[in-house]
Amino acid sequence: EADQAGDGAVKRHTDVCPICDSTAWKPDGHLSDSRLAILAKYAVCDDCGASWQMPPLYDFEAMYRSGEYRRLAGMDLDACISEQESRASVLLAYLKPRRAAIRRLLDFGSGVGSLMSAIRHHYGATVQGVELDRDHAGYANKHGLPTVWSLWILGGLVPFDLITSIHVFEHLTTPRQTMKELAALLAPNGNMLIEVPLDARMDFHPIAFTPQSLTRLATDAGLSVIECSEEIRLWAVKPE
C-alpha cells in the first residue's frame, strides 16, 4: 500500500509537522536500517504527537510502485495476499454494525483487492481501488477488482459513500493533502475508515501516528470523527 495521490513527491521541507503544520517539535531519536546502512532521524510534534522522518529516507513513491519495499521486507505476493485477506475479514466485521448499505466503495491503497472483494460480496457494492504497487494492482485487476494507480483517474464513480484506507497513511509523505483529496471524493453522510499501525516508527514508514494526530488529520479535512481507537482505527463521517 502506497503514496498514490497526486501529491506523491517526497516532501523535502520537514521542519514542520506534516499532520498539523506545527513548528513546535523536538528530536525523537534514530532508527537504523541495517540493510541499506541508513540512519533515519525522527522528530515528534509537541502539538499532535505525530512522529516523522526528517528527512525521509527514500523516494517512497518509487519504492512502492516498483514493489521494492516488499522485497526489502521479505514479503512475496502470496504472503501479502494472506495478510490482506485476514485483515479484510476483521474490517468487514467492524463495518457490518456501522453500515447497513454500501453502494460505492473507494479503497485507497487497496493492495491485492481483498477488502474490495469482501465488501462487494457482502454489500453488493460497486468498488474501486487505488494502488501504486504494480504487482498488487495487476493481481486485483486480473480478479475483476478495478484498480488504478492514482486518484486523478478514477472516472465516473465519484462520489463514494465509503472510503477506506488501511495501513496506508503511515507510508505517505504529504498526508494532509491526501486526506483533503479523499474527503472531497466522499458523499455527504458518507463514511471514512482509516487504520494505521500503533507503533509505526520504521524505515518504510515516514510518519507514525497517534490517535490524536489521526483525528486532527481527519477533522482538518472537514470530517466529523465518530471514534478513533487506540489500535489506531478511525471512523468518521462527512457532514451534509
| pLDDT, mean of residues 188-212 | 87
Confidence of residue 193 (pLDDT cuts 50, 70, 90): very high
**Residue 237: which of 155, 163, 168, 139 has the closest Cα?**
163
Mean pLDDT of 163-188: 94
Q: How confident is the model at residue 218 (pLDDT cuts 50, 70, 90)?
A: very high
Does residue 122 contact residue 128 with C-beta atoms inside 8 Å? no
The angle subtended at Cα 34 by Cα 30 and Cα 39, nearest 5°, is 30
Average pLDDT of 117-128? 97
Q: What are phi and psi of 33, to 5 degrees?
A: -105, 100
Angstrom distance (rounded) from CA 234 to CA 193 = 6
231 vs 58, higher pLDDT: 231
| Residue 30, pLDDT score | 63
Alpha-carbon distance of 201 to 210, in angstroms, equals 11
Strand, coil or helix: 40: strand
- Least confident range from 32-41, 63-72, 141-150, 159-168: namely 32-41
Whole-angstrom distance, CA of residue 110 vs CA of residue 108 = 5
User: Cα–Cα distances in Å, from 126 out to 4, 101, 110, 113, 137?
Assistant: 21, 12, 14, 13, 17
pLDDT tens-digit readout, 101-113: 999 999 999 999 9
Mean pLDDT of the chain: 86
Listed in sequence order, the residues at least 6 apart from 215 whose beta carbon sits closer than 8 Å to its beta carbon are 225, 228, 234
H or E element at residue 190: strand 186-195
What gap in Å lies between CA 105 and CA 163, rounded to an integer?
6
Least confident of 21-35, 106-120, 210-224: 21-35
Backbone phi, psi, residue 115, to 5°: -70, -40
Q: Output 145 or 27, whichever has higher pLDDT.
A: 145
Residue from 5, 2, 1, 3 nearest 152 by CA: 5
pTM for the model stands at 0.88
pLDDT of residue 31: 60
- Is residue 99 within 8 A of residue 150, CB to CB? The reply is no
Q: What's the average model confidence in pLDDT over 76-90?
A: 93
Amino acid at 33: D
Is residue 238 predicted with pLDDT exceeding 90? Answer: yes
Name residues whose C-beta falls within 8 Å of residue 133's C-beta, 6 or more positions apart in sequence. Answer: 1, 2, 64, 65, 67, 70, 111
